Amino acid sequence: MKKIIFTFCLTLIGIGLADTTKADVAKGNWIVRSGYTFLVPQLSNESLIEIEKYSMPTLSFSYLVTDNLAIEFLAGIPTSIDVNDRSMGTSSKLATFTPIAPNATLQYYFKPKDARFRPYIGAGLLYSSFHKEKAYGILEGASFRIDKSLDHLYQMGFDYEVNEKISLNLDVRKLKTSSSALATDLDRTIMGNNAPPQMRFAMDMQPVTVSLNVAWLFDSPKRANQRRLKNKEILEAMKQRREKLKLEKRGL
């Protein structure tokens, strides 16, 4: 992943040297970002489980309520994740699940509205629900589920404009998931009648996500109409100027 981010940054530098166009980003605009998100799970050293790294396509929508303040909604295409047991010193598959974790953030952009490089920070909420849970290994045969949770997140990133409508985006988020997993019907596993009534696993996961995106800027209907009227006025002024030059030549 480090190589991907390094290549992404080099691309930004190359574009910055080749293009000097600035986008007019302002209140009422929509920014749509689409790309790939890499998630790195971070568990405490005392945790008896581990979760594998994974990635997925994501899509987000930001609406600028002012020139510098925006509200963003993000969701991704769900992917199956493995949970491994490391209580015995070795890693063995314990369960799988598919998360759905849409989130909303309030973003603040530091640079003026016409700047090409627009860093931002954000804070928001993450709602996590879990589906297709299935137990393996020592828990195979048991009922396994993961609780839903509502947690906070922090965000930082930047947009780097390629032209008036397209930008490249790097986004980093620090998440916290307070969900816990519960295994019941343990007598159906290899533990048999010696099994406890249930087993609960504290996820205690605070992952970091890194997203690489392409962003598209869309004007509000009002701003789009104002832009069309302005372009029309410019074209009319150019036309009048040409007509004036023609008349001046004829006078000579």
Q: Residue 10 CB: number of other CB atoms within 10 A?
A: 10
Give the C-alpha distances (Å, rounded to integers) separating 87 from 60, 201, 242.
38, 12, 82
Question: How many of the other CB atoms lie within 10 Å of CB of 25?
Answer: 25
User: What are the pLDDT tens digits along the chain (252 aa)?
Assistant: 545 544 554 454 454 444 444 556 788 899 999 999 998 887 766 666 778 788 899 999 999 999 889 999 999 988 888 888 766 555 678 888 998 899 999 999 987 666 788 899 999 999 999 999 888 888 888 888 888 989 999 999 999 989 888 999 999 999 888 888 888 888 888 888 888 888 887 777 788 999 999 999 988 666 666 666 776 777 777 777 877 777 777 665
pTM above 0.85, yes or no: no
Domain regions of the chain by residue span? 2-218, 221-252
Q: Strand 143-146's sheet: what is its strand order?
A: 143-146, 180-184, 198-202
Tokens of 124: 């928001």
Contacts of 235 (CB under 8 A, 6+ apart): none
Which CATH number is 2-218 given? 2.40.160.20
Phi (first) and psi of residue 41, to 5 degrees: -65, 140
- Quote the strand ranges of the chain, DSSP E: 30-40, 49-51, 54-64, 69-76, 81-85, 92-100, 103-109, 117-135, 143-146, 149-161, 166-175, 180-184, 198-202, 208-218
The number of CA neighbours under 13 Å toward the Cβ of 189 is 22
Closest alpha carbon to 85 in 56, 43, 54: 43
119-159 pLDDT, tens per residue?
999 999 999 999 998 888 888 888 888 889 899 999 999 99
Q: Show the tokens assigned to 32.
A: 């749509």
Q: In angstroms, rounded to a whole number, what is the distance separating the alpha carbons of residues 47 and 201?
A: 9
Q: Exposed, middle or buried: residue 197 (CB in 10 Å: 0-12, 13-18, 19+)?
A: exposed
User: Is residue 218 a contact partner of residue 30, using CB atoms and an 8 Å limit?
Assistant: yes
**Which of 124, 121, 80, 120 has the alpha carbon at shortest distance from 103?**
124
177, amino acid identity: T
